[in-house]
Amino acid sequence: MLELLFAIGMIWVFGKLLLFGIKAAWSITKILCIIILLPVILVGLVVGGLIWLAFPILIVIGIVALVMR
């Protein structure tokens, strides 16, 4: 009986830790994409001659940043 309770407790604790790890990794991925990847993509678009596409994206992101703050 104690083994069953221990097994249930282990599954519960490590299940919670697994969910926390997934949430933390997702947050880190979002931060990296916003802080590093997005500016690199925008600069790449401008260097590649696609300023007509990069400028509206920059404006939309700026508006979203102002509204979300």
| CB 41, CB 33: distance < 8 Å | no
What confidence score (pLDDT) does residue 26 get? Answer: 81
pLDDT score recorded for residue 30? 82
User: Averaged over 44-61, what is the pLDDT?
Assistant: 85
What is the mean predicted confidence (pLDDT) over 52-60? Answer: 84
CA distance to 1, 2, 16, per residue, from 11 (Å) = 16, 14, 8
Whether the predicted model's global pTM rises above the 0.75 cut: no
- Number of structural domains, the chain? 1
Domain that holds residue 56: 2-68
